Amino acid sequence: MAELKIENNLRHDIRQELFDREWEESQANPLIVGLNASEGLRDTLEELSGFSKSFKSSGILDIMECSDGRVNGDSMLSQNEKLGLAGSGILFSSSENEEFVKNNKGKLKIVTSHDECGAGAIKFADMLKKGESLPEGVRTSDELAQYFAKKQAALLGAEYHHLEKKDFSAEIHNERMVIIDGTARFNAHQVPDLPPRFISAALGLGVEVDYVAREAEVLAGISLGDHGFDSRFTVENPFYIIIFATGQKQLTDLGEALTNFMLSSQGRVKIVGMVVSSEQNN
């Protein structure tokens, strides 16, 4: 037991060093520097190489991956047009998912699951708590996430892929922000200078603002707790919720839905948003 304890402590130290290193690296990121200096979202983004060409010109992005910032395509995918949704929709209620499938059937090419899915873990714990029975053959949260994504792909008429840990872009949750993409056209891979981020395109896929706010809170919660940068987020260095809206009303509605969460963070969460015109494309 003593040996195990030492090993765990060591791992904890190594993990914290990794978090420190990743944090320092992201502190120099041009978007973080600009936002921390209150230079304005649009102005700062427009200075980043590739941003002006980062919105798909027609239709929506069609490779659905978890919002998780460590998941950014895999070797099987020739393109990296990630459309982010937590657990590919595993946190939807059944009626929300029915609506989602109805609105998006036939629009997506690929739906994915991935190793160590946090959204899957939340859903798994919730089902156990409510005494709901797990699907046949499912014993772990990752198996549940895979079961769900496979089913979701079939419902949407898309191919299913699973992304393995070896394909992750980072070992730890190093996200500095969540980008809420109300256009479902924002291709983050076009902008190499973006910091590590969660992406949620639920708003752009016609999902209700209440869910979009709930999902953003779950994702921010990962970063603000000990799975992420945790207490490194402060008033001076907040976690950013960035909103790309298709109009002023969408921006205002979502901002209102997130107000209580922002206030409860005591300055550790900051919301910034902009309206993206339908002409902004590549």
- Minimum Å gap between C-beta 29 and Zn ion is 23
- Cβ-proximal residues to 157 (8 Å cutoff; 6+ apart), any chain: 105, 106, 108
Q: Give the residue with the Cβ less far from Zn ion, 5 or 166.
A: 166
Q: Give the residue with the Cβ less far from Zn ion, 17 or 164.
A: 164
- Minimum Å gap between C-beta 34 and Zn ion is 28
- What is the size of the binding site for Zn ion (CB under 5 A)? 4
Q: Give the residue with the Cβ less far from Zn ion, 60 or 218.
A: 218
Q: Pick from 32, 41, 63, 66 the residue near Zn ion by CB under 5 A.
A: 66
- Minimum Å gap between C-beta 120 and Zn ion is 6
Q: Pick from 77, 117, 163, 220 the residue near Zn ion by CB under 5 A.
A: 117
Q: Pick from 48, 91, 119, 180 the residue near Zn ion by CB under 5 A.
A: 119
Q: Give the residue with the Cβ less far from Zn ion, 22 or 68.
A: 68
Q: Pick from 62, 65, 68, 215 the residue near Zn ion by CB under 5 A.
A: 68
Q: Give the residue with the Cβ less far from Zn ion, 66 or 177.
A: 66
- Minimum Å gap between C-beta 68 and Zn ion is 4
- Minimum Å gap between C-beta 91 and Zn ion is 10
- Minimum Å gap between C-beta 87 and Zn ion is 5
> Given the rule CB under 5 A, which residues bind Zn ion?
66, 68, 117, 119
